[in-house]
């Protein structure tokens, strides 16, 4: 894992100012949530910082990275290529920044979610949604939820995301639906 200050300098050259500031916000939120939930704060900071490393890839960069890392988009990703930044980002994080498997999985799942997410991945998922530059209407409620119950906060986010996708007539990735169903079943049994 590279030094966090080195990573920041690298990201300044690769991301727009807006995306870089979002990444700094995710880094800060990830550290705060890691402290609450007993995960390694430095590792969470690192994952929060680099989670969107592939977000601004051009179409050509996406195609090259898909080939390089031997990633085959699923049916939804092929139609909504923006979703691929998570899988590509996980591979770039490992190859270029020495990310652990734990960090890779957190980055890979930060967009659609996944039933295999552990506490660390849930922290990065939520850090992306609650970081300080986010201003959507529900963000304050989500910030409060995230500090008290990761699963309920993720369910809240999934519901919001799914409703937004329905209004936009966008496809919804099966990982998102599967995670929501799993969380509903788990929370119903508590």
What the block records as the tokens of 10 is: 């690298």
Query: Which tens digit of pLDDT belongs to each residue from 46-78?
Result: 999 999 999 999 999 999 999 999 999 999 999
Share of the chain above pLDDT 90, in %: 94
Query: Residue 1 has what pLDDT?
Result: 64
Confidence of residue 190 (pLDDT cuts 50, 70, 90): low
Query: Which tens digit of pLDDT belongs to each residue from 130-160?
Result: 999 999 889 999 999 999 999 999 999 999 9
Candidates 171, 190, 181, 156; CA nearest to 74 is: 171
Start-to-end CA distance of the chain, whole Å, equals: 38
Q: How many whole angstroms separate alpha carbon 46 and alpha carbon 93?
A: 10
Q: Which of 1-5, 124-128, 156-160, 173-177 has the lowest mean pLDDT?
A: 1-5
Q: 65 near 27, Cβ under 8 Å?
A: no
The residues near 56 (Cβ < 8 Å, ≥ 6 apart) are 14, 15, 16, 19
State the residue for tokens 């996944």. Answer: 114
pLDDT higher than threshold 90 for residue 187: no
Query: Residue 189 has what pLDDT?
Result: 73
What is the rounded average pLDDT of the residues 103-126?
97
**Helix (H/G/I), strand (E/B), else coil: 15:** coil
């Amino acid at each position: 894992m590279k030094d966090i200050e080195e990573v920041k300098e690298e990201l300044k050259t690769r991301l727009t100012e807006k995306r870089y500031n979002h990444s700094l916000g995710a880094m800060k939120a990830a550290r705060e949530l890691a402290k609450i939930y007993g995960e390694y704060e430095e590792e969470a900071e690192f994952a929060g910082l680099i989670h969107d490393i592939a977000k601004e890839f051009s179409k050509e960069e996406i195609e090259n990275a898909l080939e390089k890392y031997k990633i085959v988009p699923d049916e939804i990703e092929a139609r909504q290529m923006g979703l691929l930044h998570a899988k590509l980002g996980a591979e770039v994080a490992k190859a270029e920044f020495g990310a652990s498997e734990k960090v890779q999985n957190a980055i890979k799942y930060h967009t659609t979610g996944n039933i295999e997410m552990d506490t660390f991945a849930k922290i990065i998922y939520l850090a992306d949604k609650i970081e300080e530059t986010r201003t959507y209407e529900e963000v304050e409620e989500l910030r409060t939820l995230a500090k008290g119950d990761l699963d309920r906060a993720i369910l809240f986010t999934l519901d919001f995301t799914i409703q937004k996708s329905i209004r936009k007539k966008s496809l919804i990735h099966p990982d998102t639906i599967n995670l929501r169903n799993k969380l509903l079943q788990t929370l119903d049994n508590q």
